[in-house]
């Protein structure tokens, strides 16, 4: 057993909680499993669901406060189309769970509607690879309706490979059979590198022995990250990456980078008749570069997210598949500090009160109360239940759908 595998198994052996099963059981003892639900057969008419993770970590001050916002489209154009929850909190429900305010964790709380202790798929420190212990929205969705895996997507950042593991939970009744798929630069490289080695060229240029060795090394490193049960290749996503390769080439010098890359991946998936996700989360991340201590990294990233949000909403407002039949939810993964004793008060998100203070904007199909501002305290884990309520599927292990009462 190699080291990464040993760490992986050790990290998940104790991950089971009520209603869940450790991944160790799923992988090593398949004959002992209770059969999973059969995938739903009901036709789904909508709404499509697009979740925008306004991350990695941003405050209300730079987003929803009129005098200091760097997201004018979000605040001035989209908020009047829906319901703005100005006082959403992380871990406000009693009893509190003492959760960490960070990116992978916050994304799981949004998708699962639960603060259950998270499983682990290897890694440690900032590279720890969390696994949901409660089912995700994707799993609930696919178990209820005849939805293919490629129609449920995570659009992920190239710099947060640990978030490639949010595709399914370790829940006994759901899990891998109802996983979603991922579009990211990491996934593109996993698609591209074997092809480069096979054809011996890159963008028409013969690979040198040194280049071949470097690609082989990088591929092995990419493969070593993924310690969970291998899944078969998805034909639709293979086709997507083939079209991406034809358009942007093989060097990586032509395609957008950072959060602009996520916007491009989301747009191309929506425009691609072979993909057209019915449920998607876009995991914007670049705000978190402010950890380096440069304030403009943060404020510029908020503005770039706002621009990307406009592009995605414009696409949904015009593409026939999405027009008038798409529910949008915009929510940060976490807030940021507000420390007056340092040069950059919002440099980190160290579980401070302001790191727990976020917001949520819901608009689109099913949201009938337009231009409504809610000042009541609500919680991040109440989002999943509200989405399930509006989209017509049960979210058994999520918190109440309390937020839905404000929307219709």
Q: Which domains does the chain have, with CATH numbers?
A: 3-29+47-407 (3.40.720.10)
- Sort strands 357-364 and 326-331 into parallel, antiparallel or unpaired: antiparallel
Which of 152, 116, 190, 184 is closest to 39 using CA atoms? 152
Q: Report the SS3 class of residue 372.
A: strand
Q: Are 321 and 81 in contact (CB under 8 A)?
A: no
Helix (H), strand (E) counts: the chain: 12, 13
Q: What is the DSSP string of 238-254?
A: HHHHHHHHHHH-SSSSS
- Give the span between the Cα atoms of 38 and 174, in whole angstroms: 10
**Which residue matches tokens 């406000």?**
92
- Give the span between the Cα atoms of 101 and 81, in whole angstroms: 29
Per-residue pLDDT of the chain (408 residues; tens, 9 = 90+): 333 333 333 333 333 333 433 333 333 333 333 334 455 667 898 899 999 999 989 999 999 999 999 999 999 999 999 999 999 999 999 999 999 898 889 999 999 999 998 766 555 555 566 788 899 999 999 999 989 999 999 999 876 666 666 788 888 889 889 999 999 999 999 999 999 999 999 999 999 999 999 999 999 988 887 766 666 789 999 999 999 999 999 998 899 999 999 999 999 999 999 999 999 999 999 998 898 889 999 999 999 999 999 999 999 999 999 999 999 999 999 999 999 999 999 898 899 999 999 999 999 999 999 999 999 999 999 999 999 999 999 999 999 889 999 998
Which of 404, 23, 108 is closest to 283 using CA atoms? 108
- Give the span between the Cα atoms of 66 and 47, in whole angstroms: 30
**Which DSSP state fits 153?**
E
Query: How many residues are listed for the chain in this entry?
Result: 408
* CA geometry: angle 113, 155, 75, nearest 5 deg: 70
CA distances (Å), 304 to each of 71, 248, 404, in order?
9, 21, 29
Which pLDDT score, from 0 to 100, does residue 126 have? 54
Which pLDDT score, from 0 to 100, does residue 117 have? 85
CA 195 to centroid of chain Cα atoms: 27
Q: Can you say whether the dihedral through the CA atoms of 161, 241, 252, 263 is positive or negative?
A: negative
> What is the C-alpha radius of gyration for the chain, rounded to an integer number of angstroms?
21
């Amino acid at each position: 057993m190699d080291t990464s595998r040993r760490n992986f198994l050790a990290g998940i052996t104790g991950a089971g909680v009520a209603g869940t099963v450790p991944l160790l059981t799923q992988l090593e003892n398949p004959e002992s499993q209770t059969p999973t639900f059969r995938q739903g057969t009901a036709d789904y008419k909508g709404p499509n669901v697009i979740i925008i993770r306004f991350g990695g970590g941003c405050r209300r001050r730079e987003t929803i406060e009129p005098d200091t916002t760097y997201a004018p489209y979000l605040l001035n154009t989209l908020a009047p189309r829906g319901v703005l929850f100005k006082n959403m909190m992380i871990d406000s429900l009693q009893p509190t769970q003492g959760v960490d305010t960070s990116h992978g964790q916050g994304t799981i709380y949004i998708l699962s509607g639960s603060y259950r202790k998270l499983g682990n798929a290897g890694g440690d420190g900032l590279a720890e690879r969390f696994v949901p212990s409660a089912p995700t929205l994707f799993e609930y969705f696919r178990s209820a309706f005849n939805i293919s895996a490629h129609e449920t997507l995570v659009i992920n950042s190239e710099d947060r490979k640990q978030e490639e593991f949010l595709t399914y939970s370790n829940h006994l009744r759901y899990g891998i059979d109802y996983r979603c798929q991922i579009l990211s630069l990491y996934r593109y490289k996993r698609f591209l590198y074997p092809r480069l080695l096979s054809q011996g060229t890159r963008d028409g240029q013969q690979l040198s022995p040194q280049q071949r060795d470097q690609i082989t090394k990088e591929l092995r490193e990419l493969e070593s990250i993924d310690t969970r049960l291998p899944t078969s290749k998805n034909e639709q996503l293979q086709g997507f990456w083939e079209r991406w390769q034809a358009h942007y080439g093989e060097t990586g010098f032509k395609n957008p980078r950072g959060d602009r890359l996520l916007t491009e991946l989301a747009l191309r998936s929506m425009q691609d008749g072979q993909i057209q996700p019915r449920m998607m989360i876009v995991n914007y991340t670049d705000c978190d570069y402010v950890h380096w201590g440069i304030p403009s990294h943060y404020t510029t990233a908020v503005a770039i997210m706002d621009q990307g949000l406009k592009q995605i909403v414009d696409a949904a407002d015009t593409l026939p598949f999405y027009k008038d039949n798409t529910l949008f939810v915009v929510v940060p993964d976490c807030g940021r500090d507000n420390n007056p004793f340092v040069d950059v008060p919002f440099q980190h998100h160290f579980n401070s009160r302001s790191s727990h203070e976020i917001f949520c904007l819901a608009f689109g199909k099913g949201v009938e109360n337009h231009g409504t501002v809610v000042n009541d305290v609500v919680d991040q884990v109440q989002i999943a239940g509200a989405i399930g309520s509006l989209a017509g599927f049960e979210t058994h292990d999520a918190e109440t759908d309390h937020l839905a009462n404000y929307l219709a």
